[in-house]
Chains A and B, each alone.
Chain A
Amino acid sequence: MNDNTMSIPHLIMSASTVVQLVMLLLVVGSILSWVVIFQRSIALRRAKQEYNQFEESFWSGVDLNELYREIPADDPRHGAEHVFQAGFREFNRLMPKTRNADSVLDGVQRSMRVAWSREEDRLTQHLVFLATVASASPYIGLFGTVWGIMGSFQALSMTQQATLATVAPWIAEALIATAMGLFAAIPAVIFYNRLSNEAARLLGKYEDFAEEFHAILHRNLQGRDGKPNAS
């Protein structure tokens, strides 16, 4: 009997409407945050694998024109490949038009920065939602608890004998809201930190790659510029 009345499903079902709404909100927030956690974890792992593959093929000594031609023009790639594609396409387009190496390198850098920024946007997508859940759900749960305890005290004023047994179920069901808020917030905090750190590291690698690619192009241009300058 005691187990039955104090069990968590029973407490949730017998809570007041506001507390139940708060709980529903928290459950929805928790489910969505877990969707984001799984989605981002899988996406970041795949992006890392892809970057490793691309880096391997890039530094395997293959000709950059070959590498660029392997990427279909109508199939945009992601990650470092996208940065490389954008930079090399810009390089190829600018090369016939100008012989000034600095302007070519400027254009390449700009296009790569744009690609990088798009990659950043793609990688950190939805992570803000995790941060929101992490910071807001404890407060929402606390609101539910305060509301429930208010209700419990209102009901307590009606009763003639204020024993612990009359207050306990109310407070228990009010505290469930805080528990659910924490339940939603804790994984969100942990995975927000982990995922944002992973995304930042991946973006750092993209940036390093962009710099290296820029250095390669610069070396090539120096060689090409040197010939006309020398001749």
Chain B
Amino acid sequence: MATDSPRDPQDVGYTLPAILAVAVHALVVVLSLISLPTSTAEPDSSSIVQATLVGTETFTDQAQQVTEQQAAMNRAAEPEVADPTPEPEPPATDTSQQEAQQQAAEEAAQREAQQEEEQRALEEAQARAEEEAQRRAEEAQRLAEEQAAESQAREEEAQRQREAEEQRAREEAEAQRQREAEEQRAREEAEAQRQREAEEQRAREEAEAQRQREAEEQRAREAEAQRQREAEAQRAREAEERRAAEAAEAAMQRQLAGEAEAAANAQQAQQAANSFINIVRRAVEQAWIIPPGASNAMSATIQVRLGPSGELLATSIVTSSGDSTFDRSAMQAVEQAAPFGELRDLPAEQQRNLRQFNLRFTPGDVR
């Protein structure tokens, strides 16, 4: 029977079914490959919301770019603004005001230009968005969904306009803040300049007084020399005196120069010193275990001496709280908190000043 089956005309062979089966699988594979592009193409034509969302995204991007450009331009303008204003301010405030006005006018012009650009960009974007919306509305007409699409488009446009306005307001506020910051900086610089100049004035006056005093001495010395020309010993003494005076003068001048420099650096140094003191204070606060018996009225002052690299050399009690455990806890806190390596970051003069300082310990705070 089994041998008969191939001979049988009724029996079905396997070539046709095999071809059909392979065809079925090929069809499935082709369908799975074709379905991918169609699925990606569908959302493009279907919904309006998605497309307009993309539109607003590009919109905000453009606005951001505009603000960035503005910020960059402002940053470029900063040195120009900062340099001229402090110099002419003390002698002639009019010119500086004029310049400031000019500056403001320029800035306003720039801002206007930028706003115009922005406006143009916005209009273009709007025009593009409107075109897209129109196209989509036509599609919607074809789909008999005209009204819904239009109302949606209108709403979205209003939304976009509102967003644009907000964006503009935010930019203006930013510009205002920048301008204020610049004015603040300029004022500070002017003040510093005035101080420096006052100091220079003082130095000049002192130098002049010194010169006058010197001239008088010279005159007196000449008179004396004329009077006592024969006394060799006296002349020698006079020469010695002169040499001493010159040395004193040189020392004075050096001191004056140092003072000017110190005054210039004083603020910066003060800040650095404050920050260092703060660091020390915080470290000591963290390390301080307040003894249980301590009351708020107690206070102890500890003198701390540091080595050049911030290591603790010695601590000593300046004013005791009267409670020895309290004093010891304060000293232990300083020992725990040491070394203060931040000392090395300070300028050399400050280092010398801060090598020795006092800390006042009161429960709840360290001063």
Contact = CB atoms under 8 A, between A and B. Distances in A.
Contacts, number: 53
B32 A8 contact: yes
Q: Which of A9, A42, A183 has the most chain B CB atoms closer than 10 A to its own CB?
A: A42
Interface size class of A (residues with CB under 8 A): 20 to 34
B143 interface: no
B11 A34 contact: no
Given A43-B11, A46-B10, A35 B4 contact: no
B17 A7 contact: no
Contacts of B33: 8-9
Contact of B24 (A34, A36, A39, A122): A34
A27 interface: yes
A49 to B, nearest CB: 9
Given A33-B21, A46-B12, 6 more contacts: A7-B36, A31-B22, A31-B25, A32-B21, A42-B16, A50-B10
Interface string A76-88: 1010000000000
30 contacts: A7-B36, A8-B32, A8-B33, A9-B33, A31-B21, A31-B22, A31-B25, A33-B21, A34-B17, A34-B21, A34-B25, A35-B14, A35-B17, A35-B18, A35-B21, A37-B17, A37-B21, A38-B17, A38-B20, A42-B16, A43-B11, A43-B12, A46-B10, A47-B10, A50-B10, A76-B8, A78-B8, A78-B11, A118-B1, A122-B1
Interface of B: 1, 4-5, 8, 10-12, 14, 16-18, 20-22, 24-25, 28, 32-33, 36, 40
Contacts of B1: 76, 118, 122
B25 to A, nearest CB: 6
A124 to B, nearest CB: 14
A63 interface: no
Nearest 5 pairs between A and B by C-beta? A34-B21, A38-B17, A39-B17, A43-B12, A35-B21
B327 to A, nearest CB: 53
Contacts of A3: 36, 40
Contact of A38 (B16, B28, B36): B16
Interface of A: 3, 7-9, 27, 30-39, 42-43, 46-47, 50, 76, 78, 118, 122, 183
A42 B12 contact: yes
B323 to A, nearest CB: 56
Contacts of B5: 122
B25 A39 contact: no
B40 A34 contact: no
Given A35-B17, A39-B17, A76 B4 contact: yes
**Dominant SS at the B interface?**
helix
Contacts of A78: 8, 10-11
Contacts of A8: 32-33
Nearest to A34: B21
A30 B27 CA distance: 14
A17 B190 CA distance: 77
A30 B26 CA distance: 12
A20 to B, nearest CB: 16
B25 A30 contact: yes
A192 to B, nearest CB: 15
Contacts of A32: 21
A38 B10 contact: no
Contacts of B16: 38, 42
Contacts of B8: 76, 78
Contacts of A33: 21
Contacts of A47: 10
A35 B22 CA distance: 8
Contacts of A46: 10, 12
A13 to B, nearest CB: 13
A122 B66 CA distance: 82
A32 B25 CA distance: 11
B138 to A, nearest CB: 29
Nearest to B5: A122
A141 B22 CA distance: 20
A118 B2 CA distance: 10
A215 B20 CA distance: 44
B17 to A, nearest CB: 3
A168 to B, nearest CB: 17
A78 B4 CA distance: 10
Contacts of A50: 10
Contacts of A183: 28
A47 B8 CA distance: 12
A27 B8 CA distance: 31
B17 A42 contact: yes
B11 to A, nearest CB: 7
Nearest to A6: B36
B71 to A, nearest CB: 33
Contacts of B11: 43, 78
Contacts of A9: 33
A143 B16 CA distance: 32
A126 to B, nearest CB: 10
B32 A38 contact: no
Contacts of A39: 12, 14, 17
A183 B36 CA distance: 18
A32 B20 CA distance: 11
B367 to A, nearest CB: 48
Contacts of A27: 25
Contacts of B21: 31-35, 37-38
A144 B91 CA distance: 88
